[in-house]
Amino acid sequence: MNPRLFYFTAGTQGTWKIRDIRPLIGAGLDWGERLAVTQDPPTEQAAWCLRGIKSNERYVTRTEKEQLLAIQEGLGRPASRYASLIPIRKQATWWQMTQDERRAIFEEQSQHTGNGLRYLPEIARSLHHCRDLEGVEPFDFLTWFEFAPEDEPAFDALLAEMRATPEWDFVEREVDIRLER
Ligand code: HEM
């Protein structure tokens, strides 16, 4: 088992009850009753299964990293009864750019980390990369967020801000899956 590899499987099993699957950009995903997050491959017949790897950071500066570490809280807090899985795929043009060009759009133009920091520690997050996995994956990233039900309006506000930034001009597929446990 790869300790950094996670499976997100929609079907009839799992801790998380699926509340909603919203196709935002491009094709959506089929309906499932529940979502399981596991480190072993699924054994049940699934509606769909997405895989992603927790990887090293690409964009944060030392200062940003220290700011994140000082405020962020981990997954699995008892009050975090709501979660959101947002699979995202970016256009080929994003991947053709160099690292410094991508960083300029991600932070200098879009303030992804700078804005996101304002929503911590209420929103806990985890990022999984899919691009370098063997085979063709339908998404580049699986983003995962956990929060208390009363913080969902703030989460929606953050998403609205983010989706209006230049970074999102490069998003070609996005599905917003809302969960509860
Ligand atoms: C990447 C912070 C919310 C989607 C990142 C990175 C940071 C970050 C620091 C870069 C990691 C690296 O250096 O490689 C935050 C904070 C948030 C937040 C503090 C506040 C809760 C969101 C939301 C979304 C999102 C709401 C939308 C679904 C992504 C994606 C990436 C990313 C797709 C990967 C970008 C890429 O590598 O091209 N986030 N984020 N984030 N975040 Fe967020």
pTM above 0.95, yes or no: yes
Structure tokens at 13: 């099993």
What pLDDT does 123 receive?
A: 98
Nearest atom (ligand 1) to Cα of 55: 14
State the pLDDT at residue 135: 87
Atom of ligand 1 nearest to the CA of 60: 13
- Return the pLDDT at 45: 86
Task: Report how many helices (DSSP H) and strands (DSSP E) the chain contains, helices first.
Answer: 5, 8
Phi and psi at 166, nearest 5°, equal -60, -30
| Contact status, residue 74 vs residue 54, Cβ threshold 8 Å | no
154 Cβ closer than 6 Å to some ligand 1 atom: no
Task: Ligand 1 pocket test: pick from 127, 132, 170, 174 the residue with the most ligand atoms within 8 Å of its Cβ.
Answer: 127
Residue pair 102/167 in contact by the 8 Å Cβ criterion: no
| Regions in the chain scoring below 70 on pLDDT | none
Known active-site residue 62: no
| pLDDT at residue 165, as a whole number | 98
Domains of the chain, by residue range, sit at: 5-180
Outline where the chain has alpha helix (H). Answer: 62-71, 92-96, 99-103, 112-116, 152-163
Q: How confident is the model at residue 147, as a pLDDT?
A: 98
Exactly one of 51, 102, 125, 173 is catalytic; which is it? 125
CA of 56 to the centre of ligand 1 (A): 13
- Please give the ipTM for the structure prediction: 0.98
Does the Cβ of 6 fall within 6 Å of ligand 1?
no
Write down the mean pLDDT value for the chain. Answer: 97
| Ligand 1 pocket check for 38: Cβ under 6 Å | no
- Helix segments in 50-151, DSSP class H: 62-71, 92-96, 99-103, 112-116
Report whether 179 contacts 118 (CB < 8 A).
Answer: no
User: What pLDDT, on a 0 to 100 scale, did the predictor assign at position 124?
Assistant: 98
8 A C-beta contact, residue 116 and residue 159: no
Ligand 1 touching residue 5 (CB < 6 A): no
pLDDT for the residue numbered 44? 82
Domain over 5-180 is classified CATH 3.30.70.3420 = yes
Write the pLDDT tens digit of every residue in 75-84: 999 999 999 9
Please tell me the predicted confidence (pLDDT) of residue 21: 98
Task: Give 111-154 pLDDT, tens digit per residue.
Answer: 999 999 999 999 999 999 999 898 889 999 999 999 999 999 99
